[in-house]
Amino acid sequence: MKAQRQWFPLIFHLLLWTVWIGLPIINAGDNERFRLFSLWMIPVSLTNIPLFLINSEWLIPRIYRQKGVAAYLFSLILLAAAFSVLQYFMKDWIIPDELRFHRLAVFWTVVPVIFVLAISTGYGFIMELNKQEKIRQEEQQERLKSELSFLRSQISPHFIFNILNSIVYLIRSKSELAETVTIKLSELMRYMLYTSEAGQVPLHTELEYLKNYIALQKIRFGEDVDIQFNIEGAEAGQHIEPMLMIPFVENAFKHGVGMIEQAKIDIFIKFDETSLVFLVTNKLSPQASEDKDASSGIGIRNVKRRLELLYPDRHQLDIRQEQGLFRVELRLLFSTDKTRKTSFKHTFA
């Protein structure tokens, strides 16, 4: 699309002026006088190129946009008058007298000028609208980038805060595991601070990150919490936005353990070349809604917004609470040539 925008003006002008100059010569046929007249007219016809460009590249973007319609129309009339006079005297100076068509000479000088200005006005407004649309899209992209940067900057501190709480607990209660925990924490931190700042990352690195986080929690809770983590799928170069799944897993550990009998957390991921299904289920204590602090849910709110920005029409998120269970189901279409041509509803129907 970008290449087409760059080549369009050049191709348009080449076609327009080739037809403008060449058509009268071709149409002359056996009329030798008209053919010679058309050849002598080439220098006059070439003055229509600056006429066209002054209107489309200067009057419309400068005069019309900055000073309004009245100023633009006045400038257009002056431009038409100036080039009509220029072309009239050029014809008188360049074309031999025996080849001139003296009848309605002024009329046939003004009409081509007006015709060129009409074409250039249409062309200029179309190009100006395209330019403004491009600027609008670029501004929107910058706003989206700024919003995503802000959301990502919120994820890391919130996540680090929760991890540090876990580390403090482990150091106090299971100090012999401190070294193992610290190593895993460093791996998690490295991923957050470096890898996740990029765009999309390979799916296997995101899954490895999840494995490290869950391994850390298994060390913390031991046999107190039944943690099930299963992955089904074959690696095929899939990429994903980083740290989309971790807020839901983190939330499960935050609210799915503690004062809960037989606490259990199930995490299931299934994927193929084009899509991914992610499920997290955990038990809830009766006091779960009362125990939430001011920061609770920040990660989930952020990931919802990131999904809206990064996977529009390519994700389904279902979060529900029923029968003492909190369940999250996320379905994603990976960004590939195949998925761009595939309806989300058809894929997951």
Q: Mind listing the pLDDT tens digit for each residue in 183-206? A: 777 777 777 766 655 678 899 989
Contact assessment for residue 212 and residue 184, using Cβ atoms and an 8 Å cutoff: yes
Question: What pTM did the predictor assign?
Answer: 0.57
Residue 35 CA to residue 57 CA, distance in Å, equals: 33
Delineate the domains of the chain, giving CATH numbers in brackets.
Answer: 2-135 (no CATH), 174-347 (3.30.565.10)
Residue 235 has φ and ψ, to the nearest 5°, of -65, 130
pLDDT value at residue 196: 56
Query: Which comes out higher in pLDDT, residue 104 or 349?
Result: 104
Which of 326 and 99 is assigned the larger pLDDT? Answer: 326
If one compares 212 and 269, the residue with the highest pLDDT of the two is 269
Predicted confidence at residue 348, as pLDDT, reads: 46
Q: Which residues pair with 271 in a beta bridge?
A: 276
Residue 276 and residue 233: Cα distance in Å, rounded? Answer: 9
Q: Report how far residue 61's alpha carbon sits from residue 67's, in angstroms, rounded to the nearest whole number.
A: 10
C-alpha pair distances (Å), 178 with each of 104, 181, 208, 211: 99, 5, 21, 18
Round to whole Å and give the CA distance between 204 and 96.
80
**Number of Cβ within a 10 Å radius of residue 182:** 13
